[in-house]
Amino acid sequence: MELNQEILVDYLDKSLSPENSSKLATQLKEDVQAARELQFLQLAIDTVRRDGISQQVFAIRQSFENNQMLSVKKTTGLVRSFYRVSMRVAAILVFLIGITVLYKYVSVSSQSLYEKQFTGYELTNNRGQSSFSSLMEAYQNKNWKEVERIYKK
Amino acid sequence: MDKHIRFSDDELVEAIRDKNMREEAIRQLYQEHAEITRSFIKGKGGTEQDADDIFQETVISFIEVIQKGKFRQESSIRTFLISISKHLWYNEIRRRQRAGNRENLYESGKDTEEWNAGDLIQDRELKKQLSQLLITLGTSCRKILELFYYENLSMKEIVLQMHYENEQVVRNKKYKCLQQLTDKIKENPLAAKQISELIFK
Protein backbone atom coordinates (compact mmCIF):
# COMPACT_ATOMS: atom_id res chain seq x y z
CA MET A 1 0.00 0.00 0.00
CA GLU A 2 1.34 3.41 -0.90
CA LEU A 3 1.69 5.52 2.23
CA ASN A 4 0.49 8.91 1.06
CA GLN A 5 -0.98 11.59 3.29
CA GLU A 6 -4.54 10.87 2.25
CA ILE A 7 -4.30 7.26 3.39
CA LEU A 8 -2.70 8.36 6.65
CA VAL A 9 -5.61 10.73 7.27
CA ASP A 10 -8.08 7.92 6.54
CA TYR A 11 -6.14 5.73 8.96
CA LEU A 12 -6.39 8.35 11.70
CA ASP A 13 -10.08 8.94 10.90
CA LYS A 14 -10.62 5.17 11.24
CA SER A 15 -12.19 5.05 7.80
CA LEU A 16 -9.91 2.29 6.45
CA SER A 17 -11.05 -1.29 6.51
CA PRO A 18 -9.69 -3.31 9.47
CA GLU A 19 -7.55 -5.29 7.06
CA ASN A 20 -5.98 -2.21 5.45
CA SER A 21 -5.62 -0.59 8.81
CA SER A 22 -3.54 -3.41 10.27
CA LYS A 23 -1.49 -3.62 7.05
CA LEU A 24 -0.74 0.08 7.30
CA ALA A 25 0.17 -0.23 11.00
CA THR A 26 2.78 -2.83 10.06
CA GLN A 27 4.14 -0.65 7.26
CA LEU A 28 4.41 2.31 9.61
CA LYS A 29 6.76 0.37 11.90
CA GLU A 30 9.24 0.14 9.05
CA ASP A 31 8.72 3.48 7.36
CA VAL A 32 10.12 6.17 9.65
CA GLN A 33 9.21 9.00 7.27
CA ALA A 34 5.58 7.88 7.08
CA ALA A 35 5.49 7.44 10.86
CA ARG A 36 6.77 10.97 11.24
CA GLU A 37 4.13 12.25 8.83
CA LEU A 38 1.47 10.39 10.80
CA GLN A 39 2.64 11.98 14.06
CA PHE A 40 2.36 15.45 12.54
CA LEU A 41 -1.16 14.70 11.34
CA GLN A 42 -2.04 13.33 14.76
CA LEU A 43 -0.67 16.49 16.36
CA ALA A 44 -2.79 18.60 14.00
CA ILE A 45 -5.93 16.63 14.93
CA ASP A 46 -5.05 16.84 18.64
CA THR A 47 -4.66 20.60 18.24
CA VAL A 48 -8.15 20.87 16.73
CA ARG A 49 -9.64 18.73 19.50
CA ARG A 50 -7.80 20.64 22.18
CA ASP A 51 -8.99 23.92 20.71
CA GLY A 52 -12.59 22.69 20.85
CA ILE A 53 -12.17 21.62 24.48
CA SER A 54 -10.44 24.92 25.34
CA GLN A 55 -13.29 26.95 23.89
CA GLN A 56 -15.90 24.96 25.79
CA VAL A 57 -13.97 25.07 29.07
CA PHE A 58 -13.23 28.77 28.66
CA ALA A 59 -16.93 29.55 28.15
CA ILE A 60 -17.82 27.61 31.31
CA ARG A 61 -14.98 29.27 33.24
CA GLN A 62 -16.34 32.68 32.28
CA SER A 63 -19.89 31.83 33.31
CA PHE A 64 -18.55 30.33 36.58
CA GLU A 65 -16.52 33.48 37.30
CA ASN A 66 -19.49 35.71 36.46
CA ASN A 67 -21.69 33.74 38.85
CA GLN A 68 -19.04 34.03 41.54
CA MET A 69 -18.81 37.79 40.98
CA LEU A 70 -22.60 38.04 41.19
CA SER A 71 -22.70 36.18 44.49
CA VAL A 72 -19.92 38.41 45.85
CA LYS A 73 -21.90 41.46 44.71
CA LYS A 74 -25.02 40.11 46.40
CA THR A 75 -23.14 39.64 49.67
CA THR A 76 -21.65 43.12 49.41
CA GLY A 77 -25.12 44.45 48.64
CA LEU A 78 -26.48 43.01 51.88
CA VAL A 79 -23.69 44.59 53.90
CA ARG A 80 -24.27 47.88 52.16
CA SER A 81 -28.02 47.84 52.77
CA PHE A 82 -27.45 46.97 56.44
CA TYR A 83 -25.01 49.88 56.59
CA ARG A 84 -27.59 52.16 55.02
CA VAL A 85 -30.30 51.10 57.47
CA SER A 86 -28.00 51.74 60.44
CA MET A 87 -27.11 55.14 59.04
CA ARG A 88 -30.78 55.99 58.66
CA VAL A 89 -31.52 54.97 62.25
CA ALA A 90 -28.56 57.04 63.44
CA ALA A 91 -29.77 60.06 61.44
CA ILE A 92 -33.27 59.78 62.94
CA LEU A 93 -31.79 59.61 66.46
CA VAL A 94 -29.59 62.66 65.82
CA PHE A 95 -32.63 64.51 64.46
CA LEU A 96 -34.77 63.64 67.49
CA ILE A 97 -32.02 64.64 69.93
CA GLY A 98 -31.57 67.90 68.00
CA ILE A 99 -35.31 68.64 68.17
CA THR A 100 -35.35 67.93 71.92
CA VAL A 101 -32.35 70.19 72.57
CA LEU A 102 -33.89 72.95 70.45
CA TYR A 103 -37.23 72.66 72.24
CA LYS A 104 -35.52 72.86 75.61
CA TYR A 105 -33.50 75.88 74.50
CA VAL A 106 -36.57 77.71 73.21
CA SER A 107 -39.00 76.79 75.96
CA VAL A 108 -36.80 77.31 79.06
CA SER A 109 -36.44 80.98 80.17
CA SER A 110 -35.67 82.59 83.54
CA GLN A 111 -39.32 83.60 83.91
CA SER A 112 -40.68 80.12 83.15
CA LEU A 113 -38.05 78.56 85.36
CA TYR A 114 -39.09 80.93 88.21
CA GLU A 115 -42.74 80.16 87.68
CA LYS A 116 -42.18 76.43 87.60
CA GLN A 117 -39.59 76.07 90.30
CA PHE A 118 -40.12 78.94 92.86
CA THR A 119 -41.87 78.02 96.04
CA GLY A 120 -42.44 80.86 98.55
CA TYR A 121 -41.32 80.56 102.12
CA GLU A 122 -44.42 80.45 104.28
CA LEU A 123 -44.16 81.56 107.88
CA THR A 124 -45.30 79.19 110.52
CA ASN A 125 -48.09 80.39 112.74
CA ASN A 126 -46.91 81.74 116.09
CA ARG A 127 -49.19 82.26 118.94
CA GLY A 128 -48.78 84.80 121.77
CA GLN A 129 -46.16 86.95 120.11
CA SER A 130 -47.19 90.46 119.13
CA SER A 131 -43.83 92.22 118.56
CA PHE A 132 -43.37 90.72 115.04
CA SER A 133 -47.00 90.73 114.10
CA SER A 134 -47.01 93.70 111.71
CA LEU A 135 -43.96 92.35 109.91
CA MET A 136 -45.35 88.86 109.85
CA GLU A 137 -48.70 90.11 108.76
CA ALA A 138 -47.16 92.06 105.88
CA TYR A 139 -45.09 89.01 104.93
CA GLN A 140 -48.04 86.67 105.03
CA ASN A 141 -49.98 89.13 102.87
CA LYS A 142 -46.99 89.15 100.45
CA ASN A 143 -46.78 92.93 100.83
CA TRP A 144 -43.07 92.93 100.11
CA LYS A 145 -42.70 96.70 100.12
CA GLU A 146 -44.20 96.94 103.60
CA VAL A 147 -42.04 94.05 104.73
CA GLU A 148 -38.98 95.90 103.42
CA ARG A 149 -40.04 99.16 105.07
CA ILE A 150 -40.70 97.55 108.46
CA TYR A 151 -37.51 95.57 108.25
CA LYS A 152 -35.39 98.64 107.49
CA LYS A 153 -37.02 100.69 110.22
CA MET B 1 -34.32 27.74 38.71
CA ASP B 2 -31.31 25.82 37.37
CA LYS B 3 -31.45 22.14 38.00
CA HIS B 4 -28.00 20.57 37.94
CA ILE B 5 -27.29 16.89 37.71
CA ARG B 6 -24.83 15.64 40.30
CA PHE B 7 -22.51 12.99 38.82
CA SER B 8 -20.51 10.45 40.79
CA ASP B 9 -16.84 10.10 39.74
CA ASP B 10 -17.61 7.23 37.34
CA GLU B 11 -20.59 9.05 35.86
CA LEU B 12 -18.53 12.19 35.45
CA VAL B 13 -15.95 10.36 33.37
CA GLU B 14 -18.73 8.97 31.20
CA ALA B 15 -20.35 12.40 30.92
CA ILE B 16 -17.07 13.90 29.68
CA ARG B 17 -16.94 11.27 26.94
CA ASP B 18 -20.49 12.13 25.90
CA LYS B 19 -20.56 15.41 23.96
CA ASN B 20 -24.15 16.09 25.07
CA MET B 21 -23.29 15.78 28.74
CA ARG B 22 -19.82 17.29 28.64
CA GLU B 23 -20.85 20.83 29.44
CA GLU B 24 -22.67 19.76 32.60
CA ALA B 25 -19.67 17.64 33.59
CA ILE B 26 -17.23 20.53 33.15
CA ARG B 27 -19.54 22.74 35.17
CA GLN B 28 -19.44 20.19 37.99
CA LEU B 29 -15.63 20.08 37.82
CA TYR B 30 -15.61 23.85 38.35
CA GLN B 31 -18.19 23.78 41.12
CA GLU B 32 -16.62 20.97 43.11
CA HIS B 33 -12.92 21.09 42.43
CA ALA B 34 -11.93 24.59 41.34
CA GLU B 35 -11.54 26.04 44.80
CA ILE B 36 -9.25 23.40 46.26
CA THR B 37 -6.91 23.36 43.26
CA ARG B 38 -6.92 27.15 43.11
CA SER B 39 -6.01 27.26 46.82
CA PHE B 40 -3.13 24.94 46.13
CA ILE B 41 -1.76 27.19 43.36
CA LYS B 42 -2.16 30.31 45.48
CA GLY B 43 -0.52 28.51 48.39
CA LYS B 44 2.45 27.80 46.15
CA GLY B 45 2.96 31.43 45.22
CA GLY B 46 0.59 31.75 42.28
CA THR B 47 -1.65 34.75 41.72
CA GLU B 48 -5.44 34.62 41.31
CA GLN B 49 -4.93 34.75 37.56
CA ASP B 50 -2.37 31.92 37.68
CA ALA B 51 -4.78 29.83 39.74
CA ASP B 52 -7.62 30.39 37.26
CA ASP B 53 -5.42 29.68 34.25
CA ILE B 54 -3.89 26.57 35.76
CA PHE B 55 -7.29 25.19 36.72
CA GLN B 56 -8.55 25.81 33.19
CA GLU B 57 -5.51 23.97 31.81
CA THR B 58 -6.09 21.21 34.36
CA VAL B 59 -9.65 20.68 33.18
CA ILE B 60 -8.57 20.66 29.53
CA SER B 61 -5.81 18.15 30.25
CA PHE B 62 -8.20 16.01 32.28
CA ILE B 63 -10.68 15.89 29.39
CA GLU B 64 -7.87 15.01 26.97
CA VAL B 65 -6.69 12.22 29.26
CA ILE B 66 -10.22 10.81 29.43
CA GLN B 67 -10.79 11.10 25.70
CA LYS B 68 -7.54 9.29 25.02
CA GLY B 69 -8.66 6.55 27.39
CA LYS B 70 -5.68 7.11 29.67
CA PHE B 71 -7.58 7.78 32.90
CA ARG B 72 -7.33 4.55 34.82
CA GLN B 73 -9.57 5.68 37.69
CA GLU B 74 -7.17 4.41 40.33
CA SER B 75 -7.65 7.60 42.31
CA SER B 76 -10.53 10.00 42.83
CA ILE B 77 -11.11 12.76 40.31
CA ARG B 78 -10.17 15.35 42.93
CA THR B 79 -6.81 13.70 43.63
CA PHE B 80 -6.16 13.37 39.93
CA LEU B 81 -7.03 17.02 39.22
CA ILE B 82 -4.78 18.22 42.04
CA SER B 83 -2.04 16.03 40.66
CA ILE B 84 -2.42 17.58 37.17
CA SER B 85 -2.50 21.08 38.68
CA LYS B 86 0.69 20.40 40.59
CA HIS B 87 2.49 19.26 37.45
CA LEU B 88 1.21 22.17 35.41
CA TRP B 89 2.16 24.66 38.10
CA TYR B 90 5.64 23.23 38.69
CA ASN B 91 6.19 23.20 34.93
CA GLU B 92 5.06 26.80 34.81
CA ILE B 93 7.44 27.76 37.64
CA ARG B 94 10.22 25.93 35.85
CA ARG B 95 9.41 27.78 32.67
CA ARG B 96 9.45 31.13 34.48
CA GLN B 97 12.60 30.45 36.39
CA ARG B 98 14.65 28.00 34.44
CA ALA B 99 17.44 27.63 36.94
CA GLY B 100 18.07 27.80 40.67
CA ASN B 101 16.13 26.87 43.73
CA ARG B 102 12.84 26.35 41.96
CA GLU B 103 14.28 23.37 40.16
CA ASN B 104 14.52 21.63 43.54
CA LEU B 105 10.94 22.61 44.31
CA TYR B 106 9.86 21.14 41.01
CA GLU B 107 11.68 17.89 41.65
CA SER B 108 10.32 17.55 45.19
CA GLY B 109 6.82 18.36 44.02
CA LYS B 110 6.75 15.65 41.39
CA ASP B 111 4.22 12.94 42.03
CA THR B 112 4.86 9.29 41.64
CA GLU B 113 1.16 8.62 41.27
CA GLU B 114 -0.76 6.40 38.94
CA TRP B 115 0.00 8.27 35.76
CA ASN B 116 2.96 9.46 33.82
CA ALA B 117 2.55 13.22 33.65
CA GLY B 118 5.40 13.58 31.18
CA ASP B 119 3.46 11.59 28.60
CA LEU B 120 0.13 13.23 29.20
CA ILE B 121 0.89 16.83 29.87
CA GLN B 122 3.12 18.24 27.23
CA ASP B 123 4.64 21.61 27.06
CA ARG B 124 2.05 24.35 27.48
CA GLU B 125 4.11 26.62 25.35
CA LEU B 126 3.89 24.25 22.38
CA LYS B 127 0.14 23.96 22.83
CA LYS B 128 -0.21 27.71 22.86
CA GLN B 129 1.79 27.98 19.66
CA LEU B 130 -0.27 25.27 17.98
CA SER B 131 -3.49 27.05 18.95
CA GLN B 132 -2.13 30.18 17.34
CA LEU B 133 -1.44 28.22 14.14
CA LEU B 134 -5.02 27.03 14.13
CA ILE B 135 -6.25 30.62 14.25
CA THR B 136 -4.26 31.44 11.12
CA LEU B 137 -6.18 28.78 9.17
CA GLY B 138 -9.28 30.85 8.61
CA THR B 139 -12.80 30.51 9.93
CA SER B 140 -14.29 27.96 7.53
CA CYS B 141 -11.30 25.64 7.83
CA ARG B 142 -11.35 25.80 11.60
CA LYS B 143 -15.07 25.21 11.64
CA ILE B 144 -14.98 22.17 9.39
CA LEU B 145 -12.12 20.59 11.36
CA GLU B 146 -13.83 21.35 14.66
CA LEU B 147 -17.13 19.86 13.50
CA PHE B 148 -15.44 16.69 12.33
CA TYR B 149 -12.79 16.11 14.97
CA TYR B 150 -14.31 17.74 18.05
CA GLU B 151 -18.06 17.56 17.55
CA ASN B 152 -17.67 14.16 15.83
CA LEU B 153 -20.24 15.08 13.19
CA SER B 154 -20.52 12.93 10.08
CA MET B 155 -19.82 14.33 6.61
CA LYS B 156 -23.55 14.35 5.99
CA GLU B 157 -24.23 16.43 9.09
CA ILE B 158 -21.46 18.88 8.14
CA VAL B 159 -22.99 19.27 4.65
CA LEU B 160 -26.27 20.26 6.29
CA GLN B 161 -24.72 22.55 8.87
CA MET B 162 -22.29 24.36 6.57
CA HIS B 163 -24.37 24.26 3.40
CA TYR B 164 -21.83 22.52 1.19
CA GLU B 165 -22.89 20.85 -2.07
CA ASN B 166 -22.20 17.28 -1.04
CA GLU B 167 -20.15 15.04 1.23
CA GLN B 168 -17.26 14.78 -1.22
CA VAL B 169 -16.81 18.54 -1.18
CA VAL B 170 -16.66 18.47 2.61
CA ARG B 171 -14.23 15.53 2.55
CA ASN B 172 -11.88 17.37 0.17
CA LYS B 173 -12.15 20.61 2.08
CA LYS B 174 -11.48 18.86 5.40
CA TYR B 175 -8.47 17.08 3.95
CA LYS B 176 -7.02 20.32 2.56
CA CYS B 177 -7.55 22.13 5.84
CA LEU B 178 -5.86 19.38 7.84
CA GLN B 179 -2.98 19.32 5.37
CA GLN B 180 -2.66 23.09 5.69
CA LEU B 181 -2.53 22.86 9.47
CA THR B 182 -0.04 19.98 9.37
CA ASP B 183 2.25 21.97 7.08
CA LYS B 184 2.17 24.89 9.49
CA ILE B 185 2.93 22.58 12.41
CA LYS B 186 5.88 21.09 10.55
CA GLU B 187 7.40 24.55 10.37
CA ASN B 188 7.19 24.93 14.15
CA PRO B 189 10.56 24.02 15.68
CA LEU B 190 9.10 22.95 19.04
CA ALA B 191 6.61 20.65 17.36
CA ALA B 192 9.26 19.21 15.04
CA LYS B 193 11.50 18.51 18.03
CA GLN B 194 8.72 16.79 19.92
CA ILE B 195 7.78 14.60 16.95
CA SER B 196 11.43 13.60 16.44
CA GLU B 197 11.69 12.65 20.09
CA LEU B 198 8.54 10.54 19.77
CA ILE B 199 9.72 8.79 16.62
CA PHE B 200 13.25 8.03 17.77
CA LYS B 201 12.38 7.24 21.38
Those residues with Cβ within 8 angstroms of residue A10's Cβ, 6 or more apart along the chain or in another chain: A16
Q: Yes or no: say if B129 and B190 are a contact pair by the CB < 8 Å rule.
A: yes
Q: A25-42, pLDDT tens digit by residue?
A: 999 888 988 998 999 999
Partner residue facing A56 (CB), from B22, B131, B142: B22
Show me where the domains of chain B are located. 9-121, 128-199
Give yes or no for residue B160 having a pLDDT over 90: yes
Instruction: Please indicate if any CB of chain A lies within 8 Å of the CB of B146.
Output: yes
The answer for residues whose C-beta is within 8 angstroms of residue B162's C-beta and 6 or more apart is B140, B143, B144, B147, B170
Residue numbers in B near A12 (CB within 8 A): none
Residue from A47, A58, A72 to probe the interface with B (highest B Cβ count within 10 Å): A47
Cβ–Cβ of B151/A52 closer than 8 Å? yes
- pLDDT given at position B117: 46
Check if CATH label 3.30.450 holds for domain B128-199.
no
List, for residues A52-85, the tens digit of each pLDDT value: 999 999 999 999 888 877 777 666 555 566 778 8
Q: Please name the member of B23, B149, B198 whose beta carbon is closest to the beta carbon of A49.
A: B149
Q: What is the DSSP string of chain B?
A: --------HHHHHHHHHSTTTHHHHHHHHHHHHHHHHHHHHHHTT--HHHHHHHHHHHHHHHHHHHHTT----SS-HHHHHHHHHHHHHHHHHHHHS-SSHHHHHHHHH---SSS-HHHHS--HHHHHHHHHHHHTT-HHHHHHHIIIIIS---HHHHHHHHT-S-HHHHHHHHHHHHHHHHHHHHT-HHHHHHHHHHHT-
Return d(Cα B64, Cα B119) in angstroms, integer. Answer: 12
CB-CB: which of A44, A49, A60 is closest to B27? Answer: A60
pLDDT grade for B99, boundaries at 50, 70 and 90: very low
Best mutation target among A29, A48, A63, A67 (most B Cβ atoms within 10 Å) is A48
Res A126 pLDDT > 60: yes
Q: What DSSP line would sit under A58-110, residue for residue? A: HHHHHHHHHHHHHHHHHHHHHHHHHHHHHHHHHHHHHHHHHHHHHHHHHH--H
Alpha-carbon gap, residue B6 to B28, rounded angstroms = 7
Q: Is the pLDDT of residue A4 over 80?
A: yes
Fold observed for domain B9-121: Rna Polymerase Sigma Factor; Chain: A (1.10.1740)
pLDDT of residue A23: 92
pLDDT at B197: 75
Contacts of A56 (CB under 8 A, 6+ apart): B22, B23, B26
